[in-house]
Structure 1
Amino acid sequence: MKLVVGVSGGSGMPYALAALRALHHLEVETHLVVSSGAKRVMTAEGAGPQLPDLTALAAHVHDDRDLAASVASGSFRTDGMLLLPCSAGTLAKVAHGFADTLVTRAAHVTLKERRPLVLVVREDPLPRPMLVNLLAAFDAGATVMSASPGFYHAPDTVDDLLHFVTARVLDQFGLDVPGFRRWREDGHA
């Protein structure tokens, strides 16, 4: 399997790191694109994951300014794209086909080729323009998710919460994350 992983400027870099770790463990070929906004957020959040943490887990890393990169073309076959976290600005661009960066171009190509595109937003509250953009992205063919962990698996740590969201997101690509306990799968809540 081959996935494009986009990381945009929304807070939530631990989600991106958890997803890349899982994809690396599952031996999925990843093509990572990190926006300039995401790089600024990483620096601002300080103690969280930094760019080298993300790039170390990716099979390929592309510059967000390189609109001639392989993932910018529909002829470059992938099994879809994950955008985690997906900032409000990136969401708006994807929802309306504005492909001015490699992250947004790769998302556009993913929709154009009718491949799975999963946008994971991590922002609250949701103002009306963002709600409209979420619906527009959904109508364009994207799967829209929030970075919202469940609690039925009785999490003990932040890593447990990250694992839950990662597993639910990767479910969208038919990938099973080891150790993920599904609702009532083992006869328990």
Structure 2
Amino acid sequence: MEERPRIVVGISGASGAVYGVRALALMRAAGVETHLVVTRSAHLTLSQELGLGPSALAEKADVVHNVADVGASISSGSFRTLGMLIAPCSVRTMSEIATGVTSSLMSRAADVVLKERRRLVLMVRETPLHLGHLRTMTALTEMGAVIMPPVPAFYAQPASLEEMVDHSVGRALDLFGIDHDACRRWTGMGAARRGQTS
């Protein structure tokens, strides 16, 4: 029997918990097995921004790993995955990964993804950025990570906050080759004009 594709999903304490929650939903719809790890501060953000507790969040993933469990399956390169998406990614989590600090399962799983040359996508949620942030992002890019801040795409003319979230999450899923219909795809200015009615 063919294995389902697996992805590690990390939710850190930065604002934007909705990105991680929506990613879990879209991956489930696409038939991807999700392995979730959540930092302690992320639980506070999830509660503040979405009113979502740990058990309600756990129902959205296939497997949930405790952030302190550095011996979990996702801490080993022999556990095959497509990679890891951290959505949102805090500056603290980003910095730990860049320096090779693996004090939690979040940073350990990300470190494994990098060493195995798998896809690591970080939806970094911070602005404005100082030079230290930018240098850390450069270092991570040189190590093979993809820095993908969730930036709204206004050309898609989103009608709601949900559509804006879906576009960013959908573009992140594109980086893993996951099929979805979460975002409106650009077909060119000419095509947009032809679709207009007078």
Q: CA RMSD in A?
A: 1.6
Contact residue 167 and residue 182 of structure 2 kept, 8 A: no
Which residues in structure 2 correspond to 1:1-189 (within 5 Å)?
1-43=5-47, 45-184=48-187, 187-188=191-192
Contact residue 17 and residue 53 of structure 1 kept, 8 A: no
Q: Residue 176 of structure 1 aligns to a residue in which SS?
A: coil
Inter-CA distance 140–179: structure 2 relative to 1 (3 Å threshold): closer
Q: Could you tell me how far apart the structure 1 residues matched to 2:53 and 2:132 are?
A: 30
TM-score by length of 1: 0.94
* Residue segments in structure 1 that go unaligned for 5+ positions in a row: none
* Residue segments in structure 2 that go unaligned for 5+ positions in a row: 194-198
Q: Residue 188 of structure 1 aligns to a residue in which SS?
A: helix
TM-score by length of 2: 0.90
Inter-CA distance 46–182: structure 2 relative to 1 (3 Å threshold): closer
Q: Residue 146 of structure 1 aligns to a residue in which SS?
A: coil
CA offset digits 1:32-88 (Å, max 9, x no partner): 000112112223x25454433432110000000000000001111111100111000
Inter-CA distance 90–179: structure 2 relative to 1 (3 Å threshold): closer
CA offset digits 1:15-40 (Å, max 9, x no partner): 11111110111110000000112112
Q: Residue 91 of structure 1 aligns to a residue in which SS?
A: helix
Contact residue 17 and residue 49 of structure 1 kept, 8 A: no
Q: Could you tell me how far apart the structure 1 residues matched to 2:182 and 2:8 are?
A: 24
Q: Could you tell me how far apart the structure 2 residues matched to 1:41 and 1:52 are?
A: 15
Inter-CA distance 10–177: structure 2 relative to 1 (3 Å threshold): same
Q: Which amino acid aligns with 2:117?
A: R
Contact residue 18 and residue 50 of structure 2 kept, 8 A: no
C-alpha displacement of 1:128: 1.4
Inter-CA distance 153–53: structure 2 relative to 1 (3 Å threshold): farther
Q: Residue 152 of structure 1 aligns to a residue in which SS?
A: helix
- Work out which of the two has the higher radius of gyration on C-alpha atoms and give 1 or 2: 2
Q: Percent identity?
A: 41
Contact residue 17 and residue 49 of structure 2 kept, 8 A: no
